[in-house]
Structure 1
């Protein structure tokens, strides 16, 4: 049976550009989205954690979806993050994103209140029942404090609009169980697990690192699909130093991605409480990026 891919394979968790005055820079967002698609992404996730969704208003979220939809056209899947700690608010965000042109919705587990599994399941069902587009559930217990347990996912897979999972749980065994027993499409949300998850039937990735290296990330999947697993493993290993610096250095991926984008001549601004990376971190990121792309033609350099 072929792997279901409701939202294509190579998705970027896109940063949200801000102007000097602090507002959204929709023109920069449109340019960045176009560059990402040209560089190897075949889908975009907006208004996620990397997109600084905790600090953007509902109106800004809607405006971003509309601007990116206009920029990339109808053929590129757009998934809009609509997660919140409040089910009612999540439903409102979901309906707004659908009206703005989103093809799917990324819905994170309610956070902070740490609801038990029956409440988690009810939350996702309420959102799925309220819209006409498919949902990607976001399992990231390190941020939310609550896992979407395997048995919960097995039940939710029966809902016709719950079709995918962004997997940041770091539990390949649990993911394999769900993959074996449901049609849910699994997208890696942790770059170091992109290839391992893909190899056991995952659908692709939703990547923060793709903001700066969409081409190298996609090349791993291309090599695997071509049957060259040794090449896929080699390309995957080449990405690990940059991935580690961006995603495991103690700074949010938003900060490290924007440090690189700013160094490339684009907009690296972010909203508080996030602060820009210091010069030492930015220099290390640039060195890792240059090593990754050295000698590679058209590596997917992206500018905002």
Structure 2
């Protein structure tokens, strides 16, 4: 979930609550991840992160799981964020590999285990080497899967065979973190998605997954094909945050401009996104 800001760049608390309700009640999201990179976590304060968790939990109640991003490249700071998220009502944690500092795999494992030990919340690991430089090796996954609270993975490697290998070998629940691969990942046993595009096409994604679950793979593929232009506009023209905030603005939904160093979408991109989303009005498969 993106983090809505006011025109002056402050946290938009009412907008955060309204967007959370929209994502659950209108887009069909059964979980919300807050304070992740898509939520501009590098530019929000610890106090803002706590406020976001509290606001979203209050807004959606028991209609959705609320998972809080709580991992930085500082393990001690991350433990504090995890504890604060638990106290604010989060139902789980999303923990990304320590970025920039490039620890060894033993350091990666110790980082995750230390944070997982700090609360009673279930943990989803986040493997995204294109952003963090360092990924999670097979042996590290095997070690971490033995921790009682580490139960899932958000996989943004784009490496579906590796994800399948780890999933089969460890029993960890896998969620696709690359929107362009949502259906392909689901078809190989991943159980869901942690999606950026679901801000705007969540209802359509649910229809696609339902079709696949019902055995109508032709319909699922047709929906996936129809979603491709919107997915590409949202995910292939720069940071997804920028595109999604532009798409939300086109629909009159809370979002606001991103905080620097991210800039708002250029007019041409904003027009492209608005047009691609408009093309997804009610269709026979929706």
Q: TM-score, normalised by structure 2?
A: 0.96
Over residues 61-113 of structure 1, what are the superposed CA-to-partner deviations in whole Å (9 max), with x where a residue is unaligned? 00000011111013410000112110111111001001100000000000001
Aligned length in residues: 284
Name the counterpart of 1:125.
113
Q: Say which of 131, 144, 148 aligns to 1:156.
A: 144
Is residue 70 of structure 2 the alignment partner of residue 59 of structure 1?
A: no
1:34 aligns with 2:21: yes
Match of 1:10 in 2: none
Match of 2:32 in 1: 44
Q: Write out per-residue CA displacement over residues 119-144 of structure 1, whole angstroms, 9 at most, x where no aligned residue.
A: 10111111111110000000000000
- Give, in whole Å, the separation in 2 of the partners of 1:220 and 1:156: 32
Is 1:84 equivalent to 2:72 in the alignment? Answer: yes
Q: Deviations over 1:244-275 (max 9, x none)?
A: 121111x1100000011112223432211111
Structure 1 length-normalised TM: 0.91
1:143 to 106, 131, 138: 131
Q: Indicate the residue corresponding to 2:243 in structure 1.
A: 256
* Pairing 1:194-213 to 2, within 5 Å after superposition: 194-213=182-201
Shift in CA distance, 120/99, structure 1 to aligned 2, threshold 3 Å = same
**Which one scores higher on RCO, CA 8 angstroms, separation ≥ 6?**
1
> Equivalences for 1:1-304 in 2 at 5 Å?
14-38=1-25, 39-249=27-237, 251-266=238-253, 267-291=255-279, 293-296=280-283
User: What is residue 4 of structure 1 aligned with on the other side?
Assistant: none
Between the aligned partners of 1:155 and 1:78, the Cα distance in structure 2 is: 26
SS state at 1:74 partner: helix
Distance 1:150 1:195 in 2: 24
Summarize the Cα distance change of 1:298–1:170 in structure 2 as closer, same or farther, 3 Å threshold. Answer: closer
Alignment partners' CA distance in 2, 1:105 and 1:295: 35
Q: d(CA) in 1 for partners of 2:168 and 2:284?
A: 39
SS of residue paired to 1:212 = helix
Greater share of residues in helix: 2
Q: Provide the residue aligned with 1:8 in structure 2.
A: none
Conserved? CA contact 2:31–2:66, under 8 Å: yes
- Matched position secondary structure for 2:78: helix
Structure 2 CA distance, aligned partners of 1:127 and 1:245? 36
TM superposition shift of 1:203: 1.1
